[in-house]
Structure 1
Amino acid sequence: MSSTRVGHFQALDLSTEDRVIVQDELYGSFTITDPVLNELLRLPSLARLIGVRQHGISALLRFTPPITRFEHSLGALLLVRRVGGTLEEQIAALLHDISHTALSHVVDFALSEPGEGSFHEVHKMRFIETTTIPEILTKHGFADLRPLNEELYPLVEMPTPHLCADRLDYGLRDAVGFGALSLEDAQRIITSLKAFPDAISPHRLLILESQEDALALATGYMTCDRDVWGNPAHGDLYTRTADLMRSSIRAGGIQEEELWRLSDDEFWAKMRQVLGQDEQKAMIKLESESLPDDQHLPLPRGAKIRTIDPEVYDCSSETAVPLSTLDKRYGTEREEYIRARKALYA
């Protein structure tokens, strides 16, 4: 078997024409033979996400592990598949991040208007129209292109603080990558996962069967937010890099479409070529400095505060109950954490 590394935790074997074999350190081994998935997984427009790191500038500068948008997208598919989700919902999971740009969420700080939402979501169809994805979906019976709207699929996308494949996959990968959970913890949480009441109910939820696993996941997720996602030091890296990205695009040195054509490394190199001397010095400073001290830094106004309150299966009532209802101490801890992080906003 000839496997290619496509992420920090994942490898892919495309050597057989009618199947894709996935080796994922968190989820195990999967063989995908569905023709539509097989074709999508070979697309250059999806493969480009191998060069886009999940954590933007933090990962480019090696402050976080090189988890990729590709492995996350495929990981979300694997979670939906694991709990029995339909082929349509698996496609939606695979394509939910298809329009992410170089340096991931850095672009939100550079180009998004206040309150506009994530750049990759706002411009998703703009990117998709440059690809063959609509033709592939139509050929395989999805002419309405519904799988391009992940919000139609509860296993893929749910409002915070619920679990969904998107939130759970990046949460598990990052928690293990940052040391907030062990690999064994993550694998146990995955084993505890189920769709409730089932995988096709209109109001389906991803829940955990074990309260202990739900608490481990929720506290690990909060640790990731405190240490990286919502950490002012990482936010400082993002805003400084966003200034450079904005300058390089507005000055015409980089065309906006190149956000979708270049990998993180290629985009960084292109900025170095087109920016002026002072901005090049700012790039060198970013590359040479340690992670800033977060003690006196504000949290950028656009930064999210990320927590979860996963539902847990309650045997006595045969219902799904939020962890905070079962564990009042966690509920209080979560509320206090959110309040403390809001106080850090610039």
Structure 2
Amino acid sequence: MSPLIKVGHFQTLDLSAENQVTIQDELYGNHTISDLVLNELLRSPSLARLIGVRQHGISSLLNFTPPITRFEHSVGAMLLVRHVGGNLEEQVAALLHDVSHTAMSHVVDFALSEPGEGSFHEVHKMRFVRTTQIPEILTKHGYKDLKPLDEELYPLVEMPTPHLCADRLDYGLRDAVGFDSLSLEDARRVIASLDVFPDATSPGRLLVLRDPEVALSLAKGYMRCDRDVWGNPSHGSLYTRTAELMRTSIRGGGVREEDLWRLSDDEFWAEMRKVVDSKGQEAMDRLESEDLPDGKDLPLPRGAKVRTIDPDVYDLSSGKAVPLSTLRPEYSTEREQYIVARRALYA
């Protein structure tokens, strides 16, 4: 990596100093990272390859969504954990939580995952990590048990839906601003309102927002992201069509499964072009030349999630963290109606 590099749609790294990394992020501002383990991980090829992996897979490769990368999201999750006082181990876990994402991101789930199986990158995380220098880096800095690779052990990093966590909040904010579902100013208000309940070290700690109006704007922006992109049948059609090409290319032996972790999105797309038959070439041509499909009569793929959140809010009157839906019953109704309507679109 060169000393100054654009690593995503919202983020640049300055690597000119040997023992520190300066992160310039439009959402979170500028941060200088001097922790040795974070420095080494941020400079490692295994993490740097995520610069070439877009969050939205084929939708972004075809320029229907902005080129937000898995790298900038991983760094953003780390910055969120750091912002609320999470310890160094939690920051490492946040930085590494998506390290095993493949080219085309979640498109691979539609291509290779079995029904009922988790996301491909989660199922095969250790398979990939064992081929990298990450275990050596973690062991060198005292994490001999490789615990930070299990992000679910860290509630600030991963929490079940519909709660907030650094992973869900960072990709939600980054995408919401990228999709014009939330203004950059509103995203920064969310970050400013963010806190931990009851504190950053309690076992059952939760990411909470102090302002219910900010929480409501976030929740509605997140729902718009799902309606417009994540759970939009038009984008789902791109995913399933691309997944069929990926499945054929890999299972036919033309592309190796290991290439999913070796190649960027663009490189993987080019590699598929070399190996697909004439029918596959035509399918790729259509994907590259067509406008975004009209999703009016398209079903939602069975594997597609319906994504909503119900952020926890610190309630001054009770001194407790309560779901936004409790404080704003109208949001509870809106969310439930949205989920029912989206599930009705399943194929």
Give 1:306 shift: 0.2
Q: Distance in 1 between matches of 2:299 and 2:219?
A: 24
Task: State the partner residue of 1:291.
Answer: 292
Q: Distance in 2 between the 1:139 and 1:149 partners? A: 18
Q: Secondary structure at the match of 1:102?
A: coil
Q: Secondary structure at the match of 1:260?
A: helix
**Which position in structure 2 is the counterpart of 1:318?**
319
Q: Which residue is equivalent to 2:86? A: 85
Runs of 4+ aligned residues of structure 1 deviating over 4 Å after TM superposition are: none
Which secondary structure state, in structure 2, belongs to the residue aligned with residue 143 of structure 1?
A: coil
Q: How does 1:146-295 map onto structure 2 within 5 Å?
A: 146-295=147-296
Q: TM-score scaled by structure 1?
A: 0.99
Distance 1:203 1:145 in 2: 22
Distance 1:143 1:198 in 2: 27
Structure 1 residue 3: Cα displacement: 2.6
SS, match of residue 91 in structure 1: helix
- Residue 316 of structure 1 and its aligned partner are, at CA, apart by 1.0
Residues of 2 paired with 1:195 and 1:41: CA distance? Answer: 26
- In structure 2, distance between residues paired with 1:286 and 1:2: 36
* Runs of 5+ consecutive residues of structure 2 not aligned to the other structure: none
Cα distance between partner residues in 2 of 1:195 and 1:314: 13
- Per the TM alignment, residue 151 of structure 1 is displaced from its structure 2 partner at its CA by 0.1
Q: Which amino acid aligns with 2:154?
A: Y
Secondary structure of 1:125 counterpart: helix
Matches of 2:118 and 2:145, distance apart in 1 = 25
| Secondary structure of residue in 2 paired with 1:93 | helix
Three-state SS of the structure 2 residue aligned to 1:313 is strand
**In structure 2, the residue corresponding to 1:195 is in which secondary structure?**
strand
- Counterpart secondary structure, 1:84: coil
Q: Using the alignment, how far apart are the partners of 1:222 and 1:244 within structure 2?
A: 30
Matched, 1:96 2:89: no
Secondary structure (helix, strand or coil) at the match of 1:206 reads: strand
Look up the equivalent residue of 2:113 and give its one-letter code: S
For residues 231-288 of structure 1, give each alpha carbon's deviation from its aligned partner in whole angstroms, at most 9, with x where no partner exists: 0000000000000000000111100000000000000000001110110000000000
Write the distance in 1 (CA, Å) between the matches of 2:240 and 2:83.
38
- How many residue pairs are counted as aligned between the two chains? 346
**Equivalent-residue separation in structure 1 for 2:329 and 2:210 (angstroms):** 18
> Aligned residues: percent identity?
76
Aligned partner letter, 1:5:
K
Alpha-carbon distance between aligned partners in 1 of 2:69 and 2:129, rounded to the nearest angstrom: 20
SS in 2 for 1:256: coil
Q: Partner of 1:6 in structure 2?
A: 7
Partner of 2:343: 342
RMSD of aligned Cα (Å): 0.8
Q: Give 2:174's aligned amino acid.
A: R
Q: Distance in 2 between matches of 1:200 and 1:37?
A: 20
Counterpart CA distance in 1 for 2:181 and 2:107 is 24
2: CA distance, partners of 1:294 / 1:320: 39
Structure 2 counterparts to residues 62-81 of structure 1, below 5 A: 62-81=63-82
Query: Are positions 1:39 and 2:40 aligned together?
Result: yes
For residue 316 of structure 1, what is the amino acid of its counterpart?
A: S
Per-residue deviation, residues 132-179 of structure 1 (Å, max 9, x unmatched): 111111111110111000000000000000000000000000000000
Structure 1 unaligned segments of length 5 or more: list them. none
